[in-house]
Homo-oligomer: A and B are copies of this chain.
C-alpha cells in the first residue's frame, strides 16, 4: 500500500494538535511536529500540503468539538437541569483531557474571527429560544430579566471554561498542586449547576 495512510495521517493530526494547542499557529514549528512524530518535515508536507492547511485541520477539529458540546446542550429537549448537567459534564471532562485547547481557540479566534464563518454560513445551529423558553417557564423572578437566556448561557460557558483556560494563573493564586487543581475542577461540576439553578 502506497497511497496516503489514513491512520498515519490521524496520528500526525493528534501530535500536531498538541503542538498547535500549546503554541498557536505562529509559535508552532513544523520541525517540532515532525520530530515529535518521529518523521521529517518532508513527510509532514507529504500528508499536509502546508503548515496553514495542517493548522486549519487542527483548528476546525478543536472548534468543532467545542461547539458540538454547546449545540448538543442547546438543541436537546431535556429539562433545564439535565441540560446544564450534560453540558457541564461534557465540557469539564473534555477540557480536563486537553486543557490548552480553550486558550488556543480563544487566541486564534481573536486574530481571525472569520475562521468561524465556515461554521455559521449555512445554518445558525445554535438557537437560544429554546433555552429562553425553559427559563421563563420556571417562573423564577431572576429568569424574567431581558437577555436572560444570553446571560445564562454566557454564565454556564464561562464557569466551565475559564477555570481551565486560566489554570496557570488560578492554580498559582490558590497555591494548588496540579492534582489539587484537577480535583477542584471536578468539584466545580456540582457547584456550577448549583449556582446556575439553585434549588430549582
Contacts of A195 in B (CB 8 A): 155, 195
A184 and B142 alpha carbons, distance in the complex (Å): 17
Closest to A162 in B: B158
5 tightest Cβ-Cβ pairs between the two chains A and B: A158-B162, A26-B27, A113-B168, A107-B107, A162-B162
A-to-B contact residues, CB < 8 Å: 22-27, 70, 100, 103-107, 109-111, 113, 116, 120, 124, 126, 128, 142, 145-147, 150-151, 153-155, 157-159, 161-163, 165-166, 168-170, 172-175, 184, 187-188, 191, 194-195
Q: Which of B103, B116, B161, B162 contacts A110 (CB 8 A)?
A: B103
**Identical chains bound together, number:** 2
Question: Of B104, B109, B116, B169, which is within 8 A of A109 by CB?
Answer: B169
Q: How far is the CB of A188 from chain B (nearest CB, A)?
A: 7
**CA gap between A96 and B25 in the complex, in Å:** 26
Give 7 CB contacts A-B under 8 Å: A70-B173, A128-B174, A147-B184, A147-B187, A151-B188, A155-B159, A157-B170
Q: Which B residues lie within 8 Å of A174 (CB)?
A: 128, 150, 153
Q: Is the CB of A107 within 8 A of B103?
A: yes
Contact across chains for A27 and B111 when beta carbons are under 8 A apart: yes
Q: Which of B24, B162, B172 contacts A157 (CB 8 A)?
A: B162
| Interface pair A116/B169, CB less than 8 Å apart | yes
Known contacts A124-B175, A174-B150: A161-B166 contact under CB 8 Å: yes
Not counting A24-B24, A154-B188, a sample of 12 additional A-B residue pairs whose C-beta atoms are within 8 angstroms of each other reads A23-B26, A150-B174, A151-B188, A154-B163, A154-B170, A155-B195, A157-B162, A158-B159, A158-B161, A158-B162, A161-B162, A162-B165
B103 and A106 contacting across the interface, CB-CB below 8 Å: yes
Q: In the docked arrangement, what's the CA distance between A111 and B110, Å?
A: 17
